[in-house]
Amino acid sequence: MTMKDNRFINMLHTARKEGYAVGAFNIFNDLTLRGVITAANEAGRPIIIQTSAGTVKRLGAEALGGMVNAARSLCTQEIALHLDHCKDDTIAKACVDHGWDAIMCDYSTLPLEENIARTQAMIAYAHAKGVAVEGEVGAIFGVEEDVVAEKEHPATYEDTMHYVHATGIDAIAPAIGTAHGMYKGSPKINWELIERLGKEATPLVVHGGTGLSDETFRRMVELGAAKINISTAIKYAYRDAIVAAIPNHPVDSPMELDKKVEAEVHATVLRLIKLFAGIE
Ligand code: 13P
């Protein structure tokens, strides 16, 4: 595969051109995968399916990549498979080697120049195989499985553009004031930074989508956000469906329970795909 054919990059640039954002949803098993795919089918929009490095470690890059590739036949829309926050180069390279469309290398805890040098090395590896790379500048607050940032380190326009130009990154996730996990208060979003970066050529990625208001999403898309990440909301949908169904659930019909979980994930994701696409 060449970079010109890269699904992840083409999807984000098309979304920018057409004024919507692509939803990027973290899946962790077949039920969440199916819930996301059926939602994309119903909304009629392409999607990014992403997994944490922890999920790759648990299931294996080859098996997980194979599972998503096989599921493409169930989806009427384009799917790009992406590795979310990865600090472990061995895992990132395994995904590059097993047919993933994109990886996020997260060296955000390092000083900027080291972040740039590590990113450049990963881009050289990934681009040689036609795989796109997303990078982070500043540090996004919160917990995303085993990636923990106890303090936000806000990104600046200057640092972000220096990183973008020095690396040639395919998509950029600066710390704009959003956070992973559930918000405890209202996030202090750096709208000026979003507006400036939204006008640049490199697609802008919003992390920490769970818990942001519909109005916030609409404004982000309007200002140029190209990819919006959702993880925690899927975990809640999954857990809540199980908790609601379990008390009266007959032990001999696990597939009925699976259907309820899948339906809850589907509903959560469908609402968000439509919102990011401006489909009311
Ligand atoms: P949430 O868990 O807050 O939805 O954030 C998802 C995310 O940004 C994944 O990288």
CA torsion 216-172-86-242 (nearest 10°) is 20
Ligand 1 centroid – CA 156 distance (Å): 21
Q: For ligand 1, atom 5, which residue shows the shortest CA distance?
A: 208
Ligand 1, pocket-test mutation among 152, 178, 207, most atoms within 8 A of CB = 207
- Which atom of ligand 1 approaches the CA of 84 most closely? 10
Ligand 1 site, residue 207, Cβ cutoff 6 A: yes
- What is the structure's pLDDT at 248? 82
| Catalytic positions | 84
* H-type alpha helices, the chain: 7-18, 30-43, 53-59, 61-71, 89-97, 112-127, 157-167, 191-198, 214-222, 232-245, 254-277
Ligand 1, pocket-test mutation among 104, 147, 182, 229, most atoms within 8 A of CB = 229
- What is the structure's pLDDT at 224? 97
Q: For ligand 1, atom 1, which residue shows the shortest CA distance?
A: 208
List per-block mean pLDDT (blocks of 10 residues) for the chain, which spans 280 residues: 93 97 98 98 98 97 97 97 97 97 96 98 98 95 73 92 98 95 90 98 97 98 98 98 89 89 98 95
38-42: Cβ within 8 A, 24+ apart = 38/74, 38/262, 38/266, 39/265, 39/266, 39/267, 39/269, 39/270, 39/273, 40/75, 40/76, 40/77, 40/79, 40/269, 40/273, 41/74, 41/75, 41/76, 41/77, 42/266, 42/270
- What is the structure's pLDDT at 141? 83
Ligand 1 site, residue 144, Cβ cutoff 6 A: yes
- Which atom of ligand 1 approaches the CA of 207 most closely? 8
- What is the structure's pLDDT at 150? 73
